[in-house]
Amino acid sequence: MSSSSSDELEERLEEAFDGIFQNIHDDIVAGRRKKKGQRTYIERNREEGHIRLWNDYFSEEPTFPRYLFRRRFRMNKDLFMRIVYRLSEEFRFFQQRRDATGRDGLSPLQKCTAAIRLLAYGSAADSVDEYLRLGESTALSCLDNFTEGIIRLFGDEYLRRPTSEDLQRLLDIGEKRGFPGMVGSIDCMHWEWKNCPTEWKGQYTRGSGKPTIVLEEVASQDLWIWHAFFGPPGTLNDLNVLDRSPFFMTFWKVELQGSGTSSTDTSMIWRTTSSTVYIQNGQHLSNLSHSPQGGKAELFAKVQESTRKDVERAFGVLQARFAIVKNPALLWDKAKIGQIMRACIILHNMIVEDERDGYTQYNTTEFEEGETSRSSQVDMSYSTEMPSNLGNMLGIRNHLRERRIHDQLKIDLIENVWTKFGDEY
């Protein structure tokens, strides 16, 4: 090979290597060099997302009317703005801040809307990216902080034991419905856990089904949820869950101050998977046969079946409002799953309070006047402290299973319902 051809080859190699090194340098400078595990920044123009959200729902003349806001946010605008205001006042995460370049970050409306959309539609975290202009990890962070904030700010008020006023109203309504002393219905639902750890699947799976987590709930006829116990594995039935729940500690020791009556004189309807039971005086239980015989028993079965649907309606409305608790849970962390369920229940109660006139079957103002009502005498304050009645729990559970008491209570209830509604049968 001649010297001239050798020099020409070296020049070409140098040019090729120079081109390769220049491309690598350009990639490094532009931040586009491909490296395993490296996160690529996407300019989403978050300001545009806030402006679009504001014009669509929160301006003086929004694009979408109030009924569409109610459908998509699951609550009225005033209630949503109240939540946004409290979160932005109390939590630094929901306060709009500037970054190092002086550019405004995501607004509280964007963050709260992202969390509500994930709860309401049960969709993937990146489903809000295109509209609200925030990434998947940011959306998950919004959901985590939003549920934590709801529990801390509103949990004491909206997931509380009944106040004296609440209890008296429930007792009056129960009397009108034919079940004196009834304060609500109790039942369990199962939430499928798609990403249950493999080593736990045997504990949370019943038969050939999917792993589930149990929610025990007490609801009244206006859909308010008074008691929620979430976390038992899906292999348990309703009776096993009741044995493990703090129900007897959290619900039965509310005092009717000024009336001389305590909540241990009240009762509840409790529907299990195979029967319906009636708890009274914190110790009695009545089991209704699925094949009633005679006019009185048939009427009682009809009235009881309609009354015990309170908790079923509450489950249905909760899942319809927040699809995230209807769809299989995608998270791995059980604590965060429980946090989501608790926040959804609190939001549900806030919506019920805001729209109670649409759910209540009775005009509660009629219970606030007259000689039979004691609501004007009771204390309206409430407490979230758990009463210390552990010593009574075993005794209560034993009395619940006494057959003689069951049969006598059933007879009394049938007679009471027949006396009240027999003329209409």
Residues 413 and 297 in one domain: yes
The answer as to whether 28 is a domain residue is no
Residues 166 and 184 in one domain: yes
Q: Which stretch of 21-30, 196-205, 268-277, 313-322 has the lowest confidence by average pLDDT? A: 268-277
What pLDDT, on the 0 to 100 scale, is given for residue 87? 95
What pLDDT, on the 0 to 100 scale, is given for residue 100? 83
- Is the pLDDT at 211 greater than 50, yes or no? yes
Number of structural domains in the chain: 2
What pLDDT, on the 0 to 100 scale, is given for residue 414? 82
The confidence band for 388, taking pLDDT boundaries of 50, 70 and 90, is very low
Using CA atoms, how far apart are residues 19 and 77, in angstroms rounded to an integer? 59
Q: What is the mean pLDDT of residues 374-379?
A: 37
Residues 6+ apart with CB under 8 A from 87: 94, 108, 112, 146, 149, 153
The confidence band for 377, taking pLDDT boundaries of 50, 70 and 90, is very low
For strands 212-219 and 225-233, give the pairing. antiparallel
**CB environment 189-222: b (16+ within 10 A), e (fewer):** bbbbbeebeeeeeeebbeeeeebbbbbbbbbbbb
Q: How many CA atoms lie within 13 A of 306 on its CB side?
A: 11
From 116, 140, 157, give the residue that closes a domain. 157
The most confident of 19-33, 89-103, 290-304, by mean pLDDT: 89-103
What pLDDT, on the 0 to 100 scale, is given for residue 103? 86
The answer as to whether 346 is a domain residue is no
Q: Residue 256 is which amino acid?
A: L
From 98, 129, 157, give the residue that closes a domain. 157
Q: Yes or no: say if 160 and 380 are a contact pair by the CB < 8 Å rule.
A: no
Residues 236 and 294 in one domain: yes
Q: Yes or no: say if 379 and 259 are a contact pair by the CB < 8 Å rule.
A: no
Residues 156, 157, 162: CA angle, nearest 5 degrees: 100
The confidence band for 340, taking pLDDT boundaries of 50, 70 and 90, is very high
The confidence band for 319, taking pLDDT boundaries of 50, 70 and 90, is very high
Residues 6+ apart with CB under 8 A from 134: 44, 46, 49, 106, 110, 111, 114, 128, 142
Q: Yes or no: say if 335 and 230 are a contact pair by the CB < 8 Å rule.
A: no
The answer as to whether 38 is a domain residue is no
Residues 6+ apart with CB under 8 A from 370: none
pLDDT tens-digit series, residues 254-300: 433 333 334 334 445 444 333 344 444 333 344 454 555 677 888 88
- Is the pLDDT at 346 greater than 60, yes or no? yes
The answer as to whether 15 is a domain residue is no
Instruction: Show the domain range for 276.
Output: 162-321+355-424
Tokens linked to 89: 């006042």
Residues 228 and 242 in one domain: yes
The confidence band for 31, taking pLDDT boundaries of 50, 70 and 90, is low
- Averaged confidence pLDDT in the chain: 78
**What are the CA-CA distances from residue 376 to residues 257, 364, 365, 380 (Å)?**
11, 13, 12, 9
List phi, psi (to 5°) of 254. -85, 125
The answer as to whether 2 is a domain residue is no
- Is the pLDDT at 249 greater than 50, yes or no? yes
Residues 119 and 246 in one domain: no
- Is the pLDDT at 91 greater than 90, yes or no? yes
Residues 180 and 122 in one domain: no
What pLDDT, on the 0 to 100 scale, is given for residue 90? 93
From 112, 132, 157, give the residue that closes a domain. 157
Tokens linked to 116: 């509500």
pLDDT tens-digit series, residues 137-163: 999 999 999 999 999 999 999 988 888
More confident residue, 260 or 70: 70
Q: Which stretch of 148-152, 250-254, 404-408 has the lowest confidence by average pLDDT? A: 250-254
